[in-house]
Every structure is written in structure tokens, then in C-alpha cells.
Amino acid sequence: MEITIKKSYEDMSKAAANIIADAIRQKPDIVLGLATGSTPLGTYKELIRMHKEEGLDFSKVTTFNLDEYYGLSKDHTQSYYYYMHKNLFDHINIKEENIHIPDGTACNVEDYCSKYEQQIKECGGIDLQILGIGTNGHIGFNEPAEKLFASTHLTDLTEDTIKANSRFFDSIEKVPKKAITMGIGSILKAKKIMLLANGKNKATAISHLINQNYITTKVPATFLKTHNDVTVILDEEASGFNKNCCKDCCKE
């Protein structure tokens, strides 16, 4: 696992965008796995800038999003479909037919989830998967539990996640209780994975990932340790780095 610690959120976002842009330039028909949440917003902003100012070309790029709230339609302002269009897709030259986001209104969910997995396979698999991390260590919406699911599935959200994500909704009651998410196996099938985290509320989850040697379903992100090409980009706060600390662990 390659770990990079950047001074600020802006630096983290630029480093991540550079990795994505290099990957697109190397393989213009790349398949990207994309994440939502506040973490990748700066990265998407930088990718939009690169498209507008440097001609970064998304015309052959295919994308698969990790997850979507179950019960929210595409036009709901808190749906991940809405988020992705507002924060990235509407500003770059990606083809609408190359965009895949789980449908939060799918009826036969089991069938729908198998089809989503099948579509990823038919596109040749994900080349580069972007991930954020929940404060409880979830990736996508794979929540801490006794068992984790391998492939795309419908899941219950934990109280922790509902509370954490309520900041985007008018009230906690409006946060959906379920979501469709890629499974841990779907994520681990990606050829390369890049996880981003910023802010001190992510430091504990990140510590389970980078400072401990165990893998546990209680912190789903720890499964990334079984993958052979993971890059983790953090800001100082998420890394647990504290410039005022007198111990060697935090010295530059």
C-alpha cells in the first residue's frame, strides 16, 4: 500500500486528480470507479479544470459509481446521480451512455444488482477505483457488520452513517435507510484503487487501515490490505499527523 500525506485538502485533491488524469492519458478508454461524498469534490473540481484548461479528454472514458441511496430518484438533489452530474459529468465531455450509477428506484433489486456487476464485467472491469471512507470505516456503503457482501447488493445503512450523512438533508428523518452498493469483492476486483481521506474525523478509520495488521468486517476498509495496488492519499489530519506532538510518531 502506498501512502501519501499532503499538507491540505487542496493538495490531496490535486494529487488525486493528477493520478486520474495520467491514467486517462495513458488509457483514453479507461473504466473508472467513482465515489461520492464531500471527499472527492476537490478532485472532481480539479479534473473539470484540467478538462477546460488543458483539454483532458473524457470522450472515451466509462464510469461506474460505487453506490446510490435506495428510494431516491435521479432528480432528487441528494441522489448520487444528481451529485455526479452537478459536480463532474455536466462539466466534462463524458458520453451519457458511458455513465453507470446504480438506480435507486430499481424494482427487482437482486436482478438489478447482478446486471450492474455484469455491466462492469462486460466493460472489462474497473481500471481505477476512487474511494472515500466513512468515519466508521465503510467503503462504498459496505457498512461494519458480521458479514460483508462480495458483489453489488441492497444494504441497510448504519445509524452512524445516517447521522453522518444527515448533514446533506433537511433532517435526519429524510436520510434513506438503505442503499445499493458495490460489494467488497466488486471493489477489490479493480486493477488499481485510490482511497482519499481528509479531516480528523477520518483518523481512527485510517489508522485501522494503515497502522494495524488485521482485517476485520467491523472496519470494511481493512479489506483493502489484501489488494496489491492501493494508493492512499491523506491530508495531515486524517493521517493522525499532529505537528505539535512531542513524540517521534508525528515528527516530520
DSSP run (H or E) holding 234: strand 230-235
Residue by residue, DSSP assigns 59-83 as TT-EEEESEEETT--TTSTTSHHHH
**Distance between CA 209 and CA 207 in Å, rounded?**
5
**Distance between CA 218 and CA 102 in Å, rounded?**
25
Task: Decide if residue 62 touches ligand GLP (CB under 6 A).
Answer: no
CB of 247 to ligand GLP, least distance (A): 28
In the residue annotation, 54 being an active-site residue is answered as no
Task: Decide if residue 220 touches ligand GLP (CB under 6 A).
Answer: no
Give the x-and-dash track for 4-33 against ligand GLP (CB under 6 A). ------------------------------
Cα four-point dihedral sign 224, 225, 227, 233: positive
Q: Closer to ligand GLP at the Cβ: 134 or 240?
A: 134
In this structure, the dihedral spanned by the alpha carbons of residues 80, 155, 210 and 45, taken in order and rounded to 10 degrees, is: 0
**Distance between CA 148 and CA 130 in Å, rounded?**
20
Q: Closer to ligand GLP at the Cβ: 152 or 165?
A: 165
Point out the catalytic residue in the list 138, 165, 198, 208: 138
Q: Which stretch binds ligand GLP (CB under 6 A): 24-32, 86-94, 132-140, 218-226?
A: 132-140
Q: Which of 6, 16, 31, 36 binds ligand GLP (CB under 6 A)?
A: 36
SS3 155: strand
Q: Which of 64, 83, 141, 223 binds ligand GLP (CB under 6 A)?
A: 141
Point out the catalytic residue in the list 51, 65, 67, 117: 67
In the residue annotation, 97 being an active-site residue is answered as no
For cell 492512499, name the residue.
232
**Closest to 2 measured CA to CA, from 252, 230, 161:** 230
In the residue annotation, 143 being an active-site residue is answered as yes
- If you count them, how many residues does the chain have? 252
CB of 173 to ligand GLP, least distance (A): 17
Q: Which of 102, 132, 220, 240 binds ligand GLP (CB under 6 A)?
A: 132
Q: Closer to ligand GLP at the Cβ: 68 or 117?
A: 68
**Distance between CA 240 and CA 245 in Å, rounded?**
10
- Rounded to a whole number of angstroms, the CA Rg of the chain reads 17
Q: Which stretch binds ligand GLP (CB under 6 A): 56-64, 84-92, 129-137, 147-155?
A: 129-137
Q: Is residue 65 within 8 Å of residue 100, measured between CB atoms?
A: yes
In the residue annotation, 108 being an active-site residue is answered as no
Residues 165-184 that bind ligand GLP (CB under 6 A): 165
Point out the catalytic residue in the list 143, 235, 236, 237: 143
Q: Which of 20, 43, 67, 203 binds ligand GLP (CB under 6 A)?
A: 67
- Say which amino acid occupies 162: I
Q: Which residues bind ligand GLP (CB under 6 A)?
A: 35-39, 66-67, 132-134, 140-141, 161, 165
Catalytic residue list = 67, 136, 138, 143
